[in-house]
Amino acid sequence: MAISLKSHETQGVSIIVANGRLTLGAETNDLREAVKQLLEAGRTRIVLDLDKLDYIDSSGLGTLVGLHTTAASKGAHIKLTRVHGHLQELLVITKLLTVFDIYDDEAAAVASFPASVKA
């Protein structure tokens, strides 16, 4: 199954919900484009909800790292929520758990942004 992305906003935080597989090709491009559009719109608080992400390959993992770096260079923050299974194992093995801010659910991720940070 290709990736499906849905987005919404909660308390000034942009949420992207990923469903499917994040692999080399259209899937990684779709996620990059979704985040790029938010950054271009001046959104600085972004949460990626990965609960329904069935599979991620090295390109998908690289995309997450690239998005994190790109967002940081623009003064934005990307946080991950509901990371489990294969993705959680990859983040542990690659020690990327220290790079990403990861939360158990959307509410915790949204609450982690300081109120003073501009949306």
pLDDT, tens only, 94-109: 999 999 999 999 999 9
Instruction: Reply yes or no on whether the pLDDT at 25 is more than 50.
Output: yes
The Cα–Cα gap between 101 and 47 comes to 10
**Above 60 in pLDDT, residue 39?**
yes
Confirm whether 15 is domain-assigned.
yes
Banded model confidence at residue 23, pLDDT cuts 50, 70, 90: very high
Tokens of 42: 């001046």
Domain count for the chain, please give it: 1
pLDDT at residue 117 tops 60: no
Quote the mean pLDDT of the chain.
93
Give the domain CATH number at 16: 3.30.750.24
Residues 83 and 96 sit within 8 Å (Cβ to Cβ): no
**Residue-level pLDDT at 116:** 55
Q: Is residue 119 part of a domain?
A: no
pLDDT at 115: 76
Write out the E strands in the chain: 4-10, 13-22, 45-56, 77-81, 101-103
- Would you say residue 116 lies in a domain? no
In a domain, 117, yes or no: no
For residue 64, the model assigns a pLDDT of 97
Q: How far is CA 19 from CA 48, 51, 71, 89, 99, in A?
A: 11, 8, 22, 18, 23
Q: Does residue 97 lie within any of the structural domains? A: yes
Q: Which domain holds residue 78?
A: 4-111
φ, ψ for residue 109 (rounded to 5)? -65, -45
- What is the model's pLDDT at position 1? 65
- Looking at the domain assignment, is residue 80 inside a domain? yes
